[in-house]
Amino acid sequence: MEIKFKSVLAAGSLLLAISCSDQVEKKMDSKIETVESDITWDATNYIFYNEFLQCSSGQDYSQDALDEMIKAWRDLELPQSMLGSWGYSSLNDNNEILIDQWEISWASKEAAEEGWQEWANNESAATWVEKYNSVLQCDSENRIGYDFVFPHNPYAFGPTPESGSFIASFSPCQLNEGMKEEDLSNEIIKYNNWLDTIDPAKVNGFYAYGIYFPSDQSGDEDFRYGNFFETLQTISDIDNAWEESPEQTRDLNQEISSCNNPALSNGQVFYDPQDPNFS
């Protein structure tokens, strides 16, 4: 099903305003155009363009080797339109933590295309790829693109962890038959209102959620939820808040969409131009 992303936000009077960054806007030809250089990855209700690269570990993979590889990558001349980057890993049968997805956030799809062109013309980037090929290989040719938004202030329950480590949960979803963009928009508003009723003191650490809308809408996935937690305890705290507020959560229409069970991953900040530890 093709979902018109902007209509999801607009249908419920969700204004495309930036509340977590110093976005600069200027009026041109009776339209408001965003000056993308002032956008940061944590802006609320801004339409980002995020890409996922599928990755596999090489024979020299280790956490130390990965840390060295990512630091060397950050030391390259990265495009200014790259707003942030994160790695995700799942446990294998040997209980080893291996990066299997790399996410990059851009100000727009056009910025992403320009950024990848810069990368292709960067000789230092080619040297970096060759040097660390035995540590991690990621498929940059078959990137999976999404329009992405934080519909709720990502800092409502506190700042992101200083360590850069977190827990991510992704759930691909389909709108059920008869449901429309407006239904999803109303669901988002209700969920945000419920989050606003939670005492942040009862949540142990950072929690935020975002929604991804695939650029390629020919597949089965209409959208996916991304939930981001500081620790497993944070997940438990949010679950407990849900159980303790049946009157508010009962109003959330659980029949709007069908979603796969959440897949948990260990998340790690690779790049954040706002944080000296990751820039």
- Divide the 279 residues of the chain into consecutive groups of 10 and give the mean pLDDT of each group: 52 36 33 57 96 96 95 92 94 65 96 95 95 96 96 96 95 92 91 94 95 89 96 95 80 80 93 92
Q: What pLDDT was estimated at residue 97?
A: 65
pTM above 0.95, yes or no: no
Query: Domain 24-147+268-278, CATH 3.30.70.100 — does that match?
Result: yes
- B/e letters for 119-151, b = 16+ CB within 10 Å, e = fewer, are beeeeebeebeeebeebbbbebeebbbbbbbbb
Q: What pLDDT was estimated at residue 91?
A: 58
Say if CB 234 and CB 207 are below 8 A apart: yes
Task: Please tell me what DSSP assigns to residue 220.
Answer: S
CA-wise closest residue to 180 among 253, 128, 233:
253
Q: What is the Cα–Cα distance from 48 to 9, expressed in whole angstroms?
A: 13
Beta-carbon neighbour count of residue 262 at 10 Å? 15
Q: What pLDDT was estimated at residue 195?
A: 95
Helix 123-131 / helix 63-74 crossing angle, nearest 10 deg: 180
Q: Which CATH number fits domain 163-266: 3.40.50.9100, 3.90.25.10, 3.40.50.10330, 3.30.70.100?
A: 3.30.70.100
Hey, which bits of the chain come out as E strands? 24-28, 31-35, 48-57, 82-91, 97-106, 136-138, 144-149, 165-175, 207-214, 223-229, 257-259, 263-271
CA-wise closest residue to 233 among 158, 153, 152, 149:
158
Say if CB 163 and CB 100 are below 8 A apart: no
Residue 166, both tokens: 């977190």
Q: What pLDDT was estimated at residue 215?
A: 93
Matching CATH topology for 24-147+268-278 and 163-266?
yes
Give residue limits of the domains in the chain.
Answer: 24-147+268-278, 163-266
Q: What is the Cα–Cα distance from 150 to 188, expressed in whole angstroms?
A: 11
CA-wise closest residue to 168 among 253, 251, 90, 51:
90
**Alpha-carbon distances, residue 163 vs 62, 100, 183, 228, 267 (angstroms):** 18, 20, 38, 14, 11
Q: What pLDDT was estimated at residue 249?
A: 72
CA-wise closest residue to 65 among 25, 102, 97, 26:
97
